[in-house]
Amino acid sequence: MSIQVPIYSTLYNEGISPEILFWVGCAGSFDTRAQRVTKAFCTILNKIGVSFAILGEEEKCTGDPARRAGNEFVFQMLALQNIQTLNHYGIKKIVTACPHCFNTLKNEYPELGGNYEVIHHTSFLNGLISDGKLKLQGGGSFLGKKITYHDSCYLGRINGIYEAPREILEALDADLVELKRCKSNGLCCGAGGAQMWKEDEPGSSRINQARATDIINSGAEIVAANCPFCITMLQDGLTSDSTEKNIMVLDLSELIVQQL
């Protein structure tokens, strides 16, 4: 089965309005590692026949890093243009695989005139599983495998979504081991607040290294994540640790795709 990724404007011109808009985000579009997550998510959507489309070239950065860096001007430029596009198509429901895009679209666009139902792909996928639309092969490759889960700040502490990702892991028959610091006490990967684009301020170590230590101490073989920036930071942190034994950082959608 070949995977189709429809562009919203094309469908719109044909008079079709897809059920959801998949917001890919900058990382999902440009970062080679995050592209794999994007593809995994599209594979799942194709497999179960969800009607979706992406904005393609019409999508712009949500403005999250600009606003958090303090550059409100750039944030407003991006946000207001995105809202123009989204409102033009009359978009109602957005699903995104990035918790930063999710947060900005959900919490910050309404005051600027953009009101949509915004869902993070973790919640979306978990909904499909519990509705029985997405069937996973039980007892598959994750059976009894120690998997840990890293709460991203923007999905967890900031938006209070702790259970959906854990329910997915349960559905995958994985043996979930919690990190010492998890849920509302979860430790940041170090990328948020536009840190992704700058060198660390002087300090004794890096935040992603501190988080990598938590992961190594958990004894897990796989780290499930929900954020493209966390994936990059954690993998880098793990790689920089010489004792690390090939722990893999994977997005929840990448885990699901292995069990379709």
Partner 1 sequence: MHEQIIFSILCILSFGFAAKRFYAISRNINLGVDWVPTSTPLEKWKNVVFIAFGQKKMFTKWLPATLHLFIYVAFIFTQIELIEILVDGITGSHRIFLPILGSFYLFIINFIEVLSLLALIGTFIFLARRNLLKIPRFQSVELKGWPAIDALIILLAEIVLVTFIFMMNSADVALHQESYQFILSGFLVPLLQDIDTNTLHLLERVGWWGHIIVVFGFIIYLSYSKHLHIIFAFINTYYANTQPRGKIENMPAIMDEVKSLLGISESGNDNNQLPDFGSNDVFNLSWKNILDAYTCTECGRCTEVCPANMTGKKLSPRKIMMDIRDRADEVGKKLDSGDVAFCQDKNLPLSPTNFSDGLSLFSQISPEEIHACTTCNACVEACPVLINPLEPIIKMRRYEILTLSAGPADWVPLFNSLENNQAAWSLSTERSAWIADVND
Within residues 187-246, the interface with partner 1 by CB under 8 A covers: 187-188, 190-207, 209-210
Q: Site size for partner 1, by CB under 8 A?
A: 73
Pick between residue 46 and residue 221 the one whose CB is nearest to partner 1. 46
| Minimum CB–partner distance for residue 167 and partner 1 (Å) | 22
| Minimum CB–partner distance for residue 189 and partner 1 (Å) | 8
Identify residues 147-166 at the interface with partner 1 (CB under 8 A): 153-154, 157-159
Pick between residue 14 and residue 199 the one whose CB is nearest to partner 1. 199
Backbone angles phi, psi at 95, to 5 degrees: -120, 135
7: three-class secondary structure by DSSP: strand
Identify residues 1-40 at the interface with partner 1 (CB under 8 A): 2-3, 5, 7, 24, 26-27, 29-31, 35, 38-39
Measured at the CA of 125, the angle between CA 95 and CA 182, to 5 degrees, comes to: 95
| Minimum CB–partner distance for residue 74 and partner 1 (Å) | 5
> Which tokens hold the place of 42?
């599209």
Identify residues 36-95 at the interface with partner 1 (CB under 8 A): 38-39, 42, 54, 56-57, 59-61, 63, 65-74, 76-78, 80-81, 84
| Minimum CB–partner distance for residue 51 and partner 1 (Å) | 17
Cα(133)–Cα(136) distance, rounded to whole angstroms?
10
Is the separation of the CB atoms in 256 and 40 below 8 Å?
yes
Cα(99)–Cα(159) distance, rounded to whole angstroms?
9
Measured at the CA of 78, the angle between CA 25 and CA 158, to 5 degrees, comes to: 60
User: Which of the 8 DSSP states describes residue 107?
Assistant: I
